[in-house]
Amino acid sequence: MPPTSPPRMHLRPTDPSAPAQNEPNAVLVGWMKPTTVRAMPAWLVNLAKTRSPTGARDSAPPAGWWISSTREEAGSSGLRKLHADMILPGRPGYSLSCFIRLISPGKAGRRRGHGLVEVLTILAVVGFFLLWVLMALPRWRETARMAGCQKNLMQIGVALQLYHQANRQYPTVAPLGVGTPGDSTVKAMLDTLVLPDFLDLKGPDQKPKPSRATPPGVRVPGLACPSDPWAMAGRFAAPLSYRANTGDAASGLGGPFEPGWVATSAAIEAADGLSFTAAFAERLVGDGRDGEPGPMNYATAPGPVGDDGCPDAPAGRWRGDAGSTWAEAGWRATLYNHALAPAAPRSCVAEDGRTAAIGASSSHANRINVLLMDGSLRGVTPTMSPAVWKALGTVGTAPPTPAK
């Protein structure tokens, strides 16, 4: 192996009392390529003998080099130093002193190829690492999407509290199935706060600066859950992944956003409490295709929908426009209830739009995010107790204040 630095040479007299002389033209005739440090002196000896006709030491040196002495010193960082004194031809009384620094094979190792076992081991480790990354990547992405979805719900909670501060009541949902559908709770908050979205809200203690309201039919950032595939697919212009809770009945009674009633924070706190009452929950957006049953779509029912669930419906009654707009109040897009268990496989809406069994659902693995009236989040699972789920959807024994 070549030295890591060039040799340094100087002439010194064999008589210690004589002055040393620099020899700028003195060069080493070659580089060492030893396999071990112990082979270095032998190499220098061979080099000196090839330069000396006799290979013997004499008082009158022939035209050649040979080694007068060598010594080896241990250096730092795994390096070794070799000192070699050579008789310099044509300069009686002087010798050539060489200092060569080389890497010690005992520390740095010798250059050699990798064996088959080593190569296979390296490939196995690299393959295992790549497989682990590929398996973990979807989980990392879903974790990021889950965080974004929770952030959206919390911002809706901040807007809900700001709305209550401005109006001393929560948004009111107009009676369903009567005339033109009214504004949704989301639209009421956007219009009251005069904001294009809820993303920049800092908290209920910081009143936002009015900006501009967003017209219906325009996509609002923060209203579509990143994990909701059809909400993110762009099939609808203004999708909504988060719905307001009407209660635990198919008729829409008992909840903070019961159609035709007004709820206040004082009334809810006096009953079950703000931290035990659901305000909004995730609900999958439809796939935009009618005639296809699925948990993201809903079926229309000819008569009133009861609390016992949705009846069987032919494919022709299934609609794919669930959650297609955030502006219109109704079961089709902006309201849900706790009549069905979380992640129920079927949802249905009466043809007259008055009753429905529209449950909460999401694309998260075994979790649905629910926003409570106090602004906190709670994760529920499909196996949650039906009694607990229904209790979470109602205000409690204290009824909401009738709308004026």
Mean pLDDT, rounded, for 145-162 = 95
The predicted-structure confidence for 227-271, as pLDDT tens digits, reads as follows 999 999 989 999 999 999 999 999 999 999 999 989 999 999 999
Q: Identify the residue with better confidence: 69 or 29.
A: 69
CA separation for the pair 264, 256 (Å, rounded)? 8
* DSSP label at residue 142: H
Q: Per mean pLDDT, which of 16-30, 111-125, 333-347 is the most reliable?
A: 333-347
| Dihedral sign (CA 287, 292, 298, 301) | positive
Give yes or no for a contact between 344 and 336, defined as CB atoms under 8 angstroms apart: no
Helix axes 185-193, 116-167, angle to 10 degrees: 70
Percent of the chain at pLDDT > 70 equals 70
Strand 94-103 relative to strand 79-87, pairing = antiparallel
Of the candidates 7, 6, 11, 8, the residue with the CA atom closest to the CA atom of residue 90: 11
pLDDT classification of 362: cutoffs 50, 70, 90: very high
Q: Identify the residue with better confidence: 13 or 136.
A: 136
The predicted-structure confidence for 56-85, as pLDDT tens digits, reads as follows 443 333 334 444 444 555 554 444 455 555
The secondary structure element, H or E, covering residue 177 is: none
pLDDT at 11 over 50: no
Other CB atoms within 10 Å distance of the CB of residue 205: 9
Q: To 5 degrees, how large is the angle CA 269–CA 273–CA 279?
A: 100
Residue 210 burial by Cβ neighbours in a 10 Å radius (0-12, 13-18, 19+) = exposed
Of the candidates 163, 374, 394, the residue with the CA atom closest to the CA atom of residue 274: 374
pLDDT of residue 95: 52
Q: Model-level pTM?
A: 0.67
* Residue keyed to tokens 């393959």: 127
Token output for 48? 């000196």
